[in-house]
Amino acid sequence: MIAAIGLLLGVFLGLLLQPSVPVWLDPYLPIAVVAALDAVFGALRAFLDGIFDDKVFVISFVSNVLIAALIVYLGDKLGVGGQLSTGVIVVLGIRIFSNVAAIRRHIFHA
Amino acid sequence: MDAPRPAAATPVEPSGREDLDGRARLLAALRKPGSRGQVVAGLLLAAVGFAGVTQVQANRKDDTYVGARQGDLIQLINTLSLASDRAEAQITKLEKTRDALGNDTQARRTALLRARQQADTLGILAGTMPAEGPGVRVTVSDKNTGVGTNQLIDGLQELRDAGAEVIELNDSVRVVASTYLEDTTGGGVLADGTPLGPPYVIDAIGDPHTLATALDFTGGFISEIRGVGGTVTVQRLATVQITSLHKVQAPKYAEPGLTR
C-alpha cells in the first residue's frame, strides 16, 4: 500500500515540479531509470516469492543505478557510450521480462 | 544484481505464513500498510517515479531533432539564421521609422508652435485678438466740434509713425489696416461705421515716450488740435488694455498670390 502510494507520489511530484535535468546527469538518467525499474520488478518478484528483504532491495536498487551510470560513463570515456548503453538496456530488458514473467505466474497462476 | 537470495529471505508480513501464495501476499500487503519494507519500497518507488517522469518530460522536450540528418540540421540552422537576419533587418527598419516619426512629431510640434505665435502676431495686427502693453492714452476734448477726420487721421498717422502697434478709438473701434474715418453732419466722425463723438480717446500700445513725443512737436497733432480749438491730454501708461475687436471679413476680390 505504502509502496504504491510512494510510486504515485513520485510521479505526481515529477509532474508538478517539472524539473529540468541537469546537463551532467543527462546521459545517465535514462539508464539509471531502467536499472531502477529492473530492481523494482526483481523486488516485486521476490515479494511474491515470499523472500522479499528490504535491505536486499535497497542495496540492489542503489547498486543497479550506480553500475548502470558507471557503465555509461565508462562507455562515454571509451567512445562506445551508445553501444554500451544499448547493451545495458538489452540486458536489463531481458531481466525485466523474466521477472515480469515470474510475477505474472504468481498473480495469474499462468 | 538484485537476485533475491533465499538465505536473506524474510517474509514481509509479520504473520509470516509461508503457505500464502504470491497473490494472497500481494493483496494482504495492499490492504495492510505499515511494515518497514513497504516504507523503504515506497521511498525507492517514489524516486523511480520521479526520475522516470522527469526523464520522460526531458525527452519529450528535446526529441524534435534527434533523428534528423546532418544536412537537414545544417539547412535548419541556415533557415533560422536567415530568419534571424531578416528579423534584425526589420528591427533596424522599424527603429528608423520610429526615429523618423519622432522627428516628425518634433517638427510638427515646432511648426505648430510657430504657427500659433504667428497667429497671435497676426491676430494682434488684424485686430482679432485683444491686446495689452505699455502705451499712451490720448484724450482729445473739443467743444467747438472743430476736430474732424483730418486731425484724427493725422494723429493716427503720427502714432503709427512712432511705432504704435495697436490703436483703439473711444474704447470701441479697433484701428486696423482697413479702418476708415468719415465726417458726419452732426460734428462727430464715423469710424468703420461706428459713430463717435468728442471727447475722442485714442489708446495706443507702443513705447510711451516715443508715442508721446511724436504727438507733441511744432506743427504736430497737439498744435493742430489746439489750432481748431480743442485740448489734448496725453497719459503715459504702463499698461494699456485694448479689448475691442475688429470683425474680419473674407476678402471678396483679393486672393493669395504665389509666394516665391
How many Å apart are CA A36 and CA B28, to the nearest integer?
25
- The pLDDT value given to residue B141: 84
How many Å apart are CA A10 and CA A8, to the nearest integer?
5
How many Å apart are CA A89 and CA A102, to the nearest integer?
20
Q: Could you say which of A10, A40, A45 has the minimum Cβ distance to residue B50?
A: A10
Residue in B closest to A34 by C-alpha: B52
How many Å apart are CA B158 and CA B76, to the nearest integer?
88
Tell me how many domains chain A contains: 1
Q: How confident is the model at residue A20 (pLDDT cuts 50, 70, 90)?
A: confident
- The pLDDT value given to residue A29: 86
CB-based contact (8 Å) between B46 and chain A? yes
Q: Walk along chain B (260 residues) in steps of 10 and give the mean pLDDT of each run.
A: 43 48 76 75 86 82 72 91 96 94 92 92 86 89 78 86 88 86 80 82 89 82 83 87 84 83
Say if the Cβ atoms of B52 and A5 lie within 8 Å. no
Q: What class is the B131-242 domain? A: alpha beta
Residue in A closest to B27 by C-alpha: A1
CB-based contact (8 Å) between B66 and chain A? no
Sign of the Cα pseudo-torsion (A6, A7, A12, A18, in order): positive
Average pLDDT over residues A54-59: 88
- The SS3 of residue B205 is strand
Look-up: residue for cell 534528423?
B68
Q: Where are the alpha helices (DSSP H) in B32-141?
A: 36-62, 70-126
- The SS3 of residue B169 is strand
Q: Which domain holds residue A72?
A: 22-108
Beta bridge partners of B168: B174, B203
Name residue A22's amino acid.
P
Residue A74, domain member (yes or no) = yes
DSSP B7: G
Long-range contacts, A53-57 (Cβ 8 Å, 24+): A53/B4, A53/B8, A53/B9, A53/B10, A53/B37, A54/B12, A54/B36, A54/B37, A54/B40, A54/B41, A55/B8, A56/B2, A56/B4, A56/B5, A56/B8, A57/B2, A57/B37, A57/B40, A57/B41, A57/B44
Residue in B closest to A17 by C-alpha: B54
Of residues B142, B143, B145, B170, the one with CA closest to residue B156: B170
What cell numbers appear for B200 in the block?
A: 475722442
- The pLDDT value given to residue B12: 45
Query: Strand B166-169 relative to strand B173-175: parallel, antiparallel, unpaired?
Result: antiparallel
How many Å apart are CA B109 and CA A10, to the nearest integer?
65
Say if the Cβ atoms of A50 and B11 lie within 8 Å. yes
Domain ranges, ordered by start, for chain B: 21-61, 69-126, 131-242
Say if the Cβ atoms of A5 and B42 lie within 8 Å. yes
Q: Which residues of B touch A6 (CB under 8 A)?
A: 41-46, 49
Residue A80, domain member (yes or no) = yes
Residue A69, domain member (yes or no) = yes
Select the residue from B12, B25, B43, B48 to test the A interface by mutation, using most A Cβ atoms within 10 A: B48
Q: How many Cα atoms sit within 13 Å of A46 on the Cβ side? A: 28
Q: Could you say which of B18, B48, B53 has the minimum Cβ distance to residue A40?
A: B48
Say if the Cβ atoms of B54 and A14 lie within 8 Å. yes
Q: How far apart are the first and last CA of chain B?
A: 102
- The pLDDT value given to residue B2: 47
The residue ranking higher by pLDDT, A102 or B38, is A102
Say if the Cβ atoms of B41 and A20 lie within 8 Å. no
Residue in B closest to A48 by C-alpha: B22
Residue A78, domain member (yes or no) = yes
CB-based contact (8 Å) between B18 and chain A? yes
